[in-house]
Amino acid sequence: MKKFDKDIFERLRQGETISPDDPQIGRLREASYATIELVQRLNNSSNPDEIRSILKQITESEIDASTALFPPLYINYGKNTKIGKNVFVNFGCTFLDLGGLTIEDNVMLAPGVKLLSESHPLSSGNRQSLVPKPIHIKRNAWIGANAVILQGVTVGENAVVAAGAVVSKDVPDNAVVGGIPAKFIKSIE
């Protein structure tokens, strides 16, 4: 089977770098525009049940009644996002999920949090390529306001990411990290 015979979304989930001349590249933009339509509906709602229902359509997965989201939310694809129970997503969060996002139970995302599972190569010759790597936010984590979690990062169980932090490396369980780039501050008892 040739590389391009496989579905581009499957290749992204498998962590394959997608070049700008990939014959399926147009499907990424088409899918994003379809998601934008749903996101606009979500962002114009103040009904928690309707918000969860639209989020279910965006992610194509169950959204538990204990999960709450305060719009606006910005998300480019949605189908690679998995959200657990009793999750709180505050105003103005951004999810770039082509690389995959897993948000486990009891996670809190403060206003303006950005989960960015996609990046580009540093080399200017192939910078237009898309490099996906999943983000995993484990149970009971708290991500502070305007924090940025970069591709490939796992935030450990019970961890806290300070407001404004830029997290480029895994965060251990029961740890507090902060700064740019985020560094270990202390352990949580």
Identify the residue whose tokens are 């999810």.
95
For residue 22, give Cα distances in angstroms to 3, 7, 27, 116, 132. Answer: 10, 11, 10, 22, 15
**Does 136 qualify as catalytic in the annotation?**
no
Q: Which long-range contacts (CB under 8 A, 24 or more apart) does 117-124 make?
A: 117/80, 117/151, 117/152, 118/151, 119/150, 119/151, 121/17
Give me the catalytic one of 120, 127, 183, 186: 120
Amino acid letter, residue 175:
A
Distance CA 124, CA 186 (A): 38
For residue 151, give Cα distances in angstroms to 2, 97, 137, 148. Answer: 27, 9, 12, 10
State both tokens at 22.
Answer: 């990939």
Active site residues: 120
